[in-house]
Chain A
């Protein structure tokens, strides 16, 4: 009887949730860190268990559901399909990495800091697991709120301004989505208990006319586009990344931006296929413009954090475009790329964090010659940077290759234009490497110390993951195969 209620999806949500709430009551800093690390590892363990637990990849494989608000047709139902497994795994992997990498940082009021981090993890897990629209919206907001506090309390100098912008921006998007959800809900078929239903199956089979789809599509799309973010909804991101504490930035860029992509795959595409077919060109052009635009701007950035932010915008834009091609090969590429991008960008942030902690600056113009004193750090960064520009045998290559390939099948000229980003990525990444790591050391960078063992361990782990997924990406494809094929049956 117990097993009917406590299952893997529940554990994935409730371990961080409860651990996070308990964390607020821990007095000592070391205790808070240890406790949150333990919780993160426990979640990771569960997540790995979910990979082996069931070979069954379909949506019903791990679905559990009990009534929540019966009278309006909402239920607390969570399920774990292929893409869900992939992204919960990414979430579960990210948090231990983040905690270990920032283990040496001390925050004022650590109990709340780590508590909020874990709450954000619970929210993220919920977003990836929810198979009920109201629950999805609930977790969507739950993930946002801790991040708001994390940025506005522990952030940099201009944190209030940046966080406010971030919050209002994403919140406005969420409200549009809420309108969309409620409207769609009112169109769903009746259930035994209520007139309508919030269940994902009801939403996926909802009957709305093409005219209604047209505007419903935009309600949802703008919410997801802000979260990803897609050009021109991206300007909150560099500011927020710059001002947030790095641990939070890792969380934001590694995992949280995937919420938008996930939303597209899980909700938007199956719900409004006609509208997707209608607006695909607009969305793809917007995304690709964003890719080139962000790549060009990345060349000009002096702050490492803003640099990474724009680089991330470019990568996400490509994924968004690939999703809208609705080509099998592109979607398969997106799946693996969502995971790879998370790992790579977290690696990049860790390196930036190490430099900033060590030297106190992160302006590219003030750095240089780090390679002399910190060769290991340099090697790790170079590997991560190469993964960032999708060099073969690193994890990002397979994904980008397949996404571009899908894009090519969609339209040749858009691909040629998007392909410029391959070159531009090399330009900005190599520029950064050269200016930060090569050349002669200046008085400041001469004082840098080589990274410590646990930092080597974290970065080493990331590098191993980069190569593993780059050399043998097949497990990722197997994991998400069914999600892709089920999704695309709607577009045949």
Chain B
């Protein structure tokens, strides 16, 4: 059954067809039909992806070339799809989680008008299409097409309710910050083209791996990888480009789950994992990535401690978790990072969808201070949410434990300090997640009576994805059981081995003592457990207060004032430079000069005109003088 690899193009094309049907027919389609089409195409893609995955697992990898995208004297770029272990795993995550979120959306967005409903599904399908292009691309260009495409869909979906200008601002911010990263990505690609004259993954990686023919110097590789990482910071919301992600919560909640938690934001990790050989050859870049990842993880975790908007907490938690993944990439734990991408996709999608279910029940309320005690109204949401919280807090045997532990372990090997800081972040994660859980589901209800009356468990289209994701959040980690628990338990590592093999050749792996490993695990799990219990006990009795935050709490709830800082350092100066150029340089300077020439001609002709007195005698006199002058010049000079 090799032929499924011949029709891999169907996997992205099906969502594209769904996009076209929903987009073009949005005025005529019923909600049921557009929901059905929107979810159906993703389901078919998912089934195909499973099939592809099985093929890949049997060892059939494949690069499909469809046509020459660019074929010129200077450059050859094919429309290539690469199917290997890494991309097939991402295919599964994207189409699988994507399908669940589509199903969820059919219910969540049901209050929209039919044409907006269809538009929503059109955008969502377009997003899946772009994301699939991103992971299936066989060269940097196809990847970049998807890379920008997901940014566009993110923009469209954040600004889905476009009447509200705050949402539009958030959408614009997301797009522009992504664009800053994209510039880095593009520069890296230009650099690659300049040096290797190709963008093809296979060619570049085999060129680089070959020490004899390697056209890239260490400086080149460091530069390229740093620029690629700039691209990743934009897309995956790392310092300094992370501020768009919390604002992106303006979009519908399923969008936050799909785009801003499970898939798009992991594109940066995918890209670095894909080009792991380059990064392994640039130790400097790796340490930069590790430090930035760690700093982001901590910074976002501190901010999440004090947020009261349920989606904002999850957003900062996402930023923080992405930081862990980058830490993993930075210390060379590519498998660990990809593993965390996978488990994170499960539990973070679950948490967002659960939050969506809560928001749905609360009639649009997102402030946790007005929630509380929802446990007894929404049992399925409650239980699944709890499982998600346990998974993200890294409690064994939930999925988050395995993936996070792997990253932490690798970080310890690299530098114990990394590990120490990362564990503090993990404790904060446990704390703010259970703060969130306790404030939402425990205690007594703090909202209005109207809201209380309205509280209800969500319909099956919402709870079904929650249940599936909850199961995955629990068992998802079992594909990567560490060696110390079970020999050969890390099936994911074995599966991904061919992709990361070149890097593993470069970076020597050393193993920790089993006792050390147990100790590290014990500390992180124990610490998280303490944080968890503390948060649980403290916030289950939460009462609404009107007291202003003070001191460090105020700084945290204002997100370290980073937005204000960017505003003052970048946005405002840009505005005033633009105003200066427009009002002074352009109007007074350049245009003034040009118009000045015109005015000068006008003025001088007005002066010279006075010579034209109309007195014939004057003219003749001037003529005579002119002739005399000519004579003098002719004969005497």
A contacts B directly in the complex (CB < 8 Å)?
A: yes
Chain A, interface SS category: helix
Complex interface: chain B residues within 8 A of A328 (CB): 72-74
Contact of B183 (CB < 8 Å), options: A301, A392, A423, A481: A423
Q: Is A299 an interface residue (CB 8 A)?
A: yes
Q: How far is the CA of A473 from the CA of B182 in the complex (A)?
A: 22
Complex interface: chain B residues within 8 A of A397 (CB): 145
Q: How far is the CA of A437 from the CA of B156 in the complex (A)?
A: 13
Q: Is B159 an interface residue (CB 8 A)?
A: yes
Q: Is B172 an interface residue (CB 8 A)?
A: yes
Q: Taking the nearest CB of chain A, how far is it from the CB of B531, in angstroms?
A: 40
Q: Taking the nearest CB of chain B, how far is it from the CB of A337, in angstroms?
A: 13
Q: Is A472 an interface residue (CB 8 A)?
A: yes
Do the beta carbons of A405 and B152 come within 8 Å of each other?
A: no
Task: List which A70-95 residues lie within 8 A (CB) of chain B.
Answer: none
Contact of A422 (CB < 8 Å), options: B145, B183, B591: B183
Q: How far is the CA of A293 from the CA of B159 in the complex (A)?
A: 29
- Per-position 1/0 for A452-492, Cβ under 8 A of B: 00000000000000000000111001000100110000000
Q: How far is the CA of A203 from the CA of B145 in the complex (A)?
A: 43
Contact of A423 (CB < 8 Å), options: B148, B165, B179, B585: B179
Q: Taking the nearest CB of chain B, how far is it from the CB of A154, in angstroms?
A: 23
Contact of A408 (CB < 8 Å), options: B70, B147, B194: B194
Q: How far is the CA of A472 from the CA of B78 in the complex (A)?
A: 11
Do the beta carbons of A391 and B163 come within 8 Å of each other?
A: no
Contact of B581 (CB < 8 Å), options: A235, A296, A430: A296
Q: Is B62 an interface residue (CB 8 A)?
A: no
Do the beta carbons of A481 and B594 come within 8 Å of each other?
A: no
Q: Is B590 an interface residue (CB 8 A)?
A: yes
Contact of A419 (CB < 8 Å), options: B165, B187, B581: B187
Task: List which B31-88 residues lie within 8 A (CB) of chain A.
Answer: 67-75
Contacts A392-B145, A393-B149, A434-B165; is A296 near B70 (CB within 8 Å)?
no
Do the beta carbons of B69 and A473 come within 8 Å of each other?
A: yes
Complex interface: chain A residues within 8 A of B187 (CB): 408, 415-416, 419
Q: Taking the nearest CB of chain B, how far is it from the CB of A122, in angstroms?
A: 30
Q: Is B191 an interface residue (CB 8 A)?
A: yes
Do the beta carbons of A235 and B594 come within 8 Å of each other?
A: yes
Do the beta carbons of A404 and B186 come within 8 Å of each other?
A: yes
Contacts A419-B186, A426-B175; is A392 near B148 (CB within 8 Å)?
yes
Do the beta carbons of B148 and A431 come within 8 Å of each other?
A: no
Complex interface: chain B residues within 8 A of A235 (CB): 586, 590-591, 594
Q: Is B281 an interface residue (CB 8 A)?
A: no
Contacts A300-B582, A329-B74; is A438 near B577 (CB within 8 Å)?
no
- Per-position 1/0 for A369-407, Cβ under 8 A of B: 101100100000000001000011100011001101100
Q: How far is the CA of A310 from the CA of B590 in the complex (A)?
A: 14
Closest A residue, CB atoms, query B145: A392
Q: Is A210 an interface residue (CB 8 A)?
A: no
Complex interface: chain B residues within 8 A of A329 (CB): 72, 74-75, 193
Complex interface: chain A residues within 8 A of B514 (CB): none
- Per-position 1/0 for B157-200, Cβ under 8 A of A: 00100111100110010011001101100110111011000000
Complex interface: chain A residues within 8 A of B165 (CB): 434, 438-439
Q: Is A195 an interface residue (CB 8 A)?
A: no
Do the beta carbons of A440 and B163 come within 8 Å of each other?
A: yes
Q: How far is the CA of A484 from the CA of B72 in the complex (A)?
A: 10
Task: List which B378-409 residues lie within 8 A (CB) of chain A.
Answer: none
Q: Taking the nearest CB of chain B, how far is it from the CB of A229, in angstroms?
A: 11
Do the beta carbons of B172 and A408 come within 8 Å of each other?
A: no
Q: How far is the CA of A372 from the CA of B113 in the complex (A)?
A: 13
Q: How far is the CA of A265 from the CA of B439 in the complex (A)?
A: 68
Q: Is A444 an interface residue (CB 8 A)?
A: no
Q: How far is the CA of A369 from the CA of B164 in the complex (A)?
A: 10
Q: Taking the nearest CB of chain B, how far is it from the CB of A223, in angstroms?
A: 16
- Per-position 1/0 for B583-596, Cβ under 8 A of A: 00110001100110
Q: How far is the CA of A246 from the CA of B72 in the complex (A)?
A: 37
Contacts A235-B594, A405-B75, A431-B172; is A426 near B70 (CB within 8 Å)?
no
Q: How far is the CA of A242 from the CA of B163 in the complex (A)?
A: 30
Contact of A296 (CB < 8 Å), options: B144, B159, B574: B574
Q: Is A409 an interface residue (CB 8 A)?
A: yes
Q: How far is the CA of A293 from the CA of B580 in the complex (A)?
A: 11
Q: Is B551 an interface residue (CB 8 A)?
A: no
Q: Is A267 an interface residue (CB 8 A)?
A: no
Do the beta carbons of A422 and B182 come within 8 Å of each other?
A: yes
Complex interface: chain B residues within 8 A of A412 (CB): 191
Q: Is A165 an interface residue (CB 8 A)?
A: yes
Closest A residue, CB atoms, query B579: A300
Complex interface: chain B residues within 8 A of A375 (CB): 115
Contact of B590 (CB < 8 Å), options: A232, A402, A472: A232
Do the beta carbons of A408 and B152 come within 8 Å of each other?
A: no
Q: Taking the nearest CB of chain B, how far is it from the CB of A329, in angstroms?
A: 4
Q: Is A282 an interface residue (CB 8 A)?
A: no
Contact of A477 (CB < 8 Å), options: B71, B144, B591: B71
Contact of B175 (CB < 8 Å), options: A372, A430, A440, A485: A430
Complex interface: chain B residues within 8 A of A423 (CB): 176, 179-180, 183
Contact of A405 (CB < 8 Å), options: B176, B194, B575, B586: B194
Complex interface: chain A residues within 8 A of B69 (CB): 472-474
Q: Is A349 an interface residue (CB 8 A)?
A: no
Q: Taking the nearest CB of chain A, how far is it from the CB of B3, in angstroms?
A: 26
Complex interface: chain B residues within 8 A of A420 (CB): 183
Q: Taking the nearest CB of chain A, how far is it from the CB of B129, in angstroms?
A: 10
Do the beta carbons of A408 and B74 come within 8 Å of each other?
A: no
- Per-position 1/0 for A315-330, Cβ under 8 A of B: 0000000000001110
Q: Taking the nearest CB of chain A, how far is it from the CB of B250, in angstroms?
A: 13
Do the beta carbons of B186 and A422 come within 8 Å of each other?
A: yes
Closest B residue, CB atoms, query A426: B179
Q: Is A427 an interface residue (CB 8 A)?
A: yes
Q: Is B598 an interface residue (CB 8 A)?
A: yes
Q: Taking the nearest CB of chain A, how far is it from the CB of B247, in angstroms?
A: 14
Contact of B193 (CB < 8 Å), options: A332, A398, A405: A405
Q: How far is the CA of A462 from the CA of B566 in the complex (A)?
A: 38
Contacts A369-B163, A439-B168; is A474 near B148 (CB within 8 Å)?
no
Do the beta carbons of A386 and B152 come within 8 Å of each other?
A: yes
Closest B residue, CB atoms, query A470: B145
Q: Taking the nearest CB of chain B, how far is it from the CB of A167, in angstroms?
A: 11
Complex interface: chain B residues within 8 A of A401 (CB): 141, 186
Complex interface: chain A residues within 8 A of B164 (CB): 439
Q: How far is the CA of A409 from the CA of B152 in the complex (A)?
A: 29
Closest B residue, CB atoms, query A484: B73
Contact of B190 (CB < 8 Å), options: A404, A437, A472: A404
Q: Is B622 an interface residue (CB 8 A)?
A: no
Do the beta carbons of B149 and A422 come within 8 Å of each other?
A: no
Do the beta carbons of B73 and A481 come within 8 Å of each other?
A: yes
Contacts A386-B152, A427-B176, A430-B176; is A439 near B162 (CB within 8 Å)?
yes
Do the beta carbons of B172 and A481 come within 8 Å of each other?
A: no
Q: How far is the CA of A232 from the CA of B191 in the complex (A)?
A: 30
Q: Is B578 an interface residue (CB 8 A)?
A: yes
Complex interface: chain B residues within 8 A of A168 (CB): 598
Q: How far is the CA of A402 from the CA of B145 in the complex (A)?
A: 14
5 nearest CB pairs, A to B: A408-B190, A392-B145, A329-B74, A438-B162, A328-B74
Q: Known A-B contacts: A165-B595, A392-B144, A408-B190. Give 19 more (CB < 8 A).
A: A296-B574, A296-B582, A297-B578, A297-B586, A329-B193, A372-B163, A397-B145, A398-B70, A402-B74, A404-B186, A405-B75, A408-B191, A408-B194, A409-B193, A415-B190, A422-B179, A434-B159, A473-B70, A484-B73
Chain B contact residues, CB within 8 Å of chain A: 67-75, 115, 141, 144-145, 147-149, 152, 155, 159, 162-165, 168-169, 172, 175-176, 179-180, 182-183, 186-187, 189-191, 193-194, 574-575, 577-579, 581-582, 585-586, 590-591, 594-595, 598
21 A/B residue pairs, CB under 8 Å, sorted by A: A168-B598, A235-B586, A235-B590, A235-B591, A236-B594, A296-B577, A296-B582, A297-B581, A369-B163, A391-B149, A392-B144, A404-B186, A404-B190, A422-B179, A422-B183, A430-B155, A437-B162, A438-B159, A473-B70, A481-B73, A484-B73
